[in-house]
Amino acid sequence: MSKDTEDEKPRKKGKGMMMKLVLGIVLIAAGGGGAFGMMQAGFIGGGKHEKEDNNPKLVRKGDDDPFALPSKDKDAAGLADVHGDGGSKYRTSYYSFADEFTSNLKHSDALVQISLAASTKRDGRVLLWMKKHELAIRSALLTILADTPEDDVYTLEGKKQLQERLTAAINTVLTENEGFGGVDAVYFRSFIIQ
């Protein structure tokens, strides 16, 4: 053997070892990248989960409300909750404000005094939140009343618009504090103008 062939053999052996090392690194990188891609796509591992909708849900007539408020009505203690077959397929719950609302009307010496109730077709969390945030809701409703022109409280259309504004104000307070409104309508229990 000549000296030139002896020098070539160790170079080939070193070059082969380097190729195996580079090939191993490439395979590890490709495998890691593939695994990462499969995890992101949700094929393996936890993947990305959608955030669960934890807002109050509509409650069908006859279904149990998991957030129902305890009944204070002693007379209805033994009576079953009976729903009619017609109308909405969802049950309606009401929240009555304990105290009346009294306010001046916009640009007027007249006063308005009203008793209010609100309704929801959603679960009892909406009623719980109304009770919890009643102070903030009262403040918002009094602001709406004070911004109502006297002429509006004498017409049916004006009263309907006032109801819509009061409903929107309650939902705004609930959304700001709880992230969800849920009040469908506001009703006048009494309405006195002086």
CB 111 within 8 A of CB 97: no
Question: What is the average per-residue pLDDT within 176-182?
Answer: 95
* pLDDT value of position 8: 54
The CA–CA distances, whole Å, from 132 to 52, 128, 137, 157 equal: 24, 6, 10, 31
Which pLDDT tens digit goes with each residue over 53-93?
788 988 898 888 888 877 665 555 555 667 777 788 999 99
Amino acid 25 reads I
Which pLDDT tens digit goes with each residue over 41-54?
666 765 455 667 78
pLDDT band at 184 (very low <50, low <70, confident <90, very high): very high
* pLDDT value of position 18: 78
Q: What percent of the chain has pLDDT over 70?
A: 77
* pLDDT value of position 7: 54
What is the CA 70 to chain-centroid distance, rounded? 23
pLDDT of 16 higher than 60: yes
The structure's pTM equals 0.69
159 token code pair: 């009263």
* pLDDT value of position 43: 67
Instruction: Considering only residues 142 and 81, tell me which one the structure prediction assigns the higher pLDDT.
Output: 142
Q: What is the largest CA-CA distance in the chain?
A: 123
* pLDDT value of position 69: 76
As a whole number, the mean pLDDT across the chain is: 84
pLDDT of 172 higher than 60: yes
Which pLDDT tens digit goes with each residue over 113-136?
999 999 999 999 999 999 999 999
